[in-house]
Amino acid sequence: MNYSAKRINIKKLLTILAALFAIVVTVVAGSYVVVGELRKQLRQNLEDVANQNAVALYNRIHSNHLLLEGMSENMHGVTTETVEETLQSFAVFIDDYELKRFAFCFPDGTCYSTDGGVADLSFREFFKRGMEGKGTISGVLSDALEESHGLVNVMTIPIFDDNGNVEGVLGLTYNTQTFNDALQIDCFDGQGYSCAINEDGQIMVAMGSNILQLSKNIFSDVLGIDQRNQETISRLQKQMSENVSGGGQLFRSEGTYYYCTPVELMDGDVTWYMLTIIPADVFENRADPIQTSLYVMIAMVALFIIIGAALLIILSREQQMMMLRFAYEDHITKGDNYAKFCINMEKRKKRLGYLVAMDITNFGNINIAAGKNAGDALICDIWQMLVSGLQEDEFAAHVRDDIYIMFLLASDDDSLLERLKHISDRINRRAKQIQVKGIHARYGIYHMNESDELQDAYGKARMAREHAKIHKEQRYAFYDEIDHERIQQDEQLEERFEESLKAGDFEVWYQPKYSAASGEIVGSEALVRWRDKDGSMISPGRFIPLFEQNGMIAKLDEYMFRAVTRQQAKWKDEGRKIYPVSINLSRASLYYADVFERYQSILKESGIEPEYIQLEVTESAMEGKKDIRVLLEQFRNMGIQILMDDFGTGYSSLATLNMRCFDTIKLDKSLIDHIGDKNGETLLCYIIDMGHQLELHITAEGVENPKQLEFLKQNKCDDIQGFLFARPMPFDQFEKLLAE
């Protein structure tokens, strides 16, 4: 039982673990998806920041470019004489635009500036480009118009004359630092950095990091530090040459993401590239809390699942225990039931031992006399008695009602019987306490062999129990002792019963009763006879005890009652004189449901007056049941006389005589047989006298000789029934006898 429960739990546990694993895998995979998504978003972010930087750079340079374009009008036709004055008119913009100066170069390269400087700048790239008719913005240069040669950037545009020829180059100069500072845009809260580079990779503007130094080459000086970046650099260069935007990953100490976008300046004459870079940290710093919260979530989900699973296991274990209890626990004793007994026996491979089928005689009396609770309490007490005596490898179970089964390992029959006797003694003591008569343990014992099947063995033990009367004292029987032929015949009789009842094979025979004084017929007793197939009679002594055991007798009694009332009615209808006929009622009939109502209606149906029907009840049938008295009173009130049959057998007691629910006592043949023996005769005289004093009618049964008749006559016995006068006879013979 525990083993299979364990197996179920392991199965469940594995399922839960698998589910847990699946959930963890799903959540981890989910977290990767989320992190991937985050990475994507961050790249998008990076792209956005790069684009913003590009726009800022463009705006800044474009506004200056517009300024230059605006000023170019004034430069037409300017000469060396007018150039300084014209330039001075622009000086007002210098501070507003955070510039260093404006300058104009004549085609020969001579350059005049707003701060009065004059120099030959024909060697400068911006001059050359200007003269080619293109605007430009330079990288970081050393200032040629200043002695200290500070760092500057120069934006230039060509000035065309009316014929479209370049008549000079107008430029503005930034202090590099100022120019650079003006283009600072916060990049990922200072964690990232951007730079504007030209097509050669030279850093034109550096934003937000001291790694990036103006005029350094981003390809060789900055990114080229790690060889693994070569490929990325080539890709970047290719992308720049194609003028497209794009990003990727760079190798730096912690890993870096970049995005590069082209920025067209100076009406497309110049293209810079805005390169924005963030260290992987930025990404990790953003992804980490999400990932951490995801892991916390996983941990919580797992925890919930574990708690849930634990609860589930506890609950299902409880449920399982409940089911096991339901399946294997007896609801009255709370001990093992028969199913559990079978399992115990199955587990125990060795079968050698005694199988004992036990029941309690007259157990029903306890329920009737003391109530169902008392009955249940006794069942529990007996169970405790059985269990407390069990030794290792022995089992017992309460099967149902008053039935128990035991598997005992006694060394021999005697020691087994010794143990059973001990149980019986305890049960007898207990029965005495509750003052219910006839309570005894009965045992059917089967000595099991290794090869025996439990069901067969139990069947044999039960069969033995039904014959436990073999040993009257201790009420037990070994299966091997019982008369199997007889049992088989009994079974056949039981099988034929219903059919015979329908076929009318049960006949009513009548044994007349005579008045001791006058010798005239005063009545008769109806005695059942079973006609066998071969025409012979089966005597009631053969089948009545059998039918009393299995309860069939109640049906037979009712059948007899009906048959007798019908016969009486027939005789009455035929105008014959009728006499009271007594019908035997066995103990089982008295316990039959609605017995009074049933018999009453049968009688009514027949139309026979109640005084022509009598009922014979044995003293032992009265045992244990208090309301039998009430039942007998009902019959008597109706006018049916009650005869106490077989008085003198068993425990006849004066108390029974005094119960006042009988009209007649029938002295049993065993008492009559004592006539001739002094003590017996004294006893008889005493009983007859007592009976008369209690106003009871006395009938003597089994009177076989005149001497007995003489004694009974002398002692005022009222009626005589016996072979001396007549044996039981079929109805037609009895009819003739009455007619004589």
Q: Which residues bind Mg ion (CB under 5 A)?
A: 584, 616, 645-646, 701
How many residues does this entry show for the chain? 740
Quote the tokens at residue 525: 């007793």
DSSP three-state, residue 367: helix
> Does residue 512 belong to the site contacting ligand C2E (CB under 6 A)?
no
**Near ligand C2E by CB under 6 A, which window of 145-153, 567-575, 622-630, 702-710?**
702-710
What residues from 667 to 686 belong to the interface with ligand C2E (CB under 6 A)?
669
The CA distance from 543 to 540, in Å, is: 5
With CB under 5 to 8 Å by kind, the binding choice for 527 among Mg ion, ligand C2E, none is ligand C2E
> Does residue 722 belong to the site contacting ligand C2E (CB under 6 A)?
yes
The CA distance from 73 to 66, in Å, is: 12
The CA distance from 322 to 142, in Å, is: 95
User: Which CB, 154 or 615, lies closer to ligand C2E?
Assistant: 615
The 3 state secondary structure assigned to 259-321 is EEEEEEEHHHCEEEEEEEEEEHHHHHHHHHHHHHHHHHHHHHHHHHHHHHHHHHHHHHHHHHH
Q: Which of 330, 359, 402, 645 binds ligand C2E (CB under 6 A)?
A: 645
Q: How far is the CB of 545 from Mg ion (least distance, A)?
A: 14
User: Which CB, 416 or 508, lies closer to Mg ion?
Assistant: 508
Number of residues that bind ligand C2E (CB under 6 A): 24
Identity (one letter) of the amino acid at 88?
Q
Q: How far is the CB of 699 from Mg ion (least distance, A)?
A: 9
499: left (phi over 0), alpha (psi -120 to 50) or beta: alpha
User: Which CB, 330 or 701, lies closer to Mg ion?
Assistant: 701
Distances (CA, A) of 157 to 117, 134, 267, 371, 483: 19, 6, 10, 124, 137
Q: How far is the CB of 375 from ligand C2E (least distance, A)?
A: 27
Distances (CA, A) of 198 to 166, 262, 271, 273: 25, 9, 7, 6
**Near ligand C2E by CB under 6 A, which window of 130-138, 267-275, 606-614, 722-730?**
722-730
Q: How far is the CB of 723 from Mg ion (least distance, A)?
A: 13
**Near ligand C2E by CB under 6 A, which window of 10-18, 135-143, 384-392, 695-703?**
695-703
Q: How far is the CB of 523 from ligand C2E (least distance, A)?
A: 14
Q: Which of 336, 359, 558, 616 binds ligand C2E (CB under 6 A)?
A: 616
Q: How far is the CB of 618 from ligand C2E (least distance, A)?
A: 7
The 3 state secondary structure assigned to 167-187 is EEEEEEEEEHHHHHHHCCCCC
User: Which CB, 78 or 665, lies closer to ligand C2E?
Assistant: 665
Identity (one letter) of the amino acid at 566?
R
The CA distance from 12 to 320, in Å, is: 13
Q: Which of 628, 712, 612, 685 is nearest to 662 (CA)?
A: 628
User: Which CB, 100 or 587, lies closer to ligand C2E?
Assistant: 587
Question: Residue 467 forms beta bridges with which residues?
Answer: none
The CA-CA-CA angle for residues 50, 54, 57, to 5°, reads 135
With CB under 5 to 8 Å by kind, the binding choice for 192 among Mg ion, ligand C2E, none is none
**Near ligand C2E by CB under 6 A, which window of 201-209, 279-287, 540-548, 647-655?**
540-548
User: Which CB, 31 or 699, lies closer to Mg ion?
Assistant: 699
Pattern 646-665, ligand C2E, x by CB under 6 A: x-------------------
Q: How far is the CB of 339 from ligand C2E (least distance, A)?
A: 38
The CA distance from 584 to 530, in Å, is: 15
Q: Give helix 280-328 / helix 338-347 axis angle, nearest 10°.
A: 110
> Does residue 31 belong to the site contacting ligand C2E (CB under 6 A)?
no
User: Which CB, 376 or 548, lies closer to Mg ion?
Assistant: 548
User: Which CB, 402 or 718, lies closer to ligand C2E?
Assistant: 718
User: Which CB, 336 or 668, lies closer to ligand C2E?
Assistant: 668
The percent helix, strand, coil of the chain (3-state, each to 5) is 50, 20, 25
User: Which CB, 308 or 545, lies closer to ligand C2E?
Assistant: 545
Q: Which of 164, 268, 535, 541 binds ligand C2E (CB under 6 A)?
A: 541
**Near ligand C2E by CB under 6 A, which window of 266-274, 287-295, 308-316, 715-723?**
715-723
End-to-end CA distance of the chain: give it in Å, rounded.
Answer: 78
Handedness of CA 556, 562, 566, 568 (dihedral sign): positive
* Interacting residue ranges for ligand C2E, rule: CB under 6 A: 511, 527-528, 539-541, 544, 553, 557, 560, 584, 586, 616, 645-646, 669, 701-704, 721-723, 728
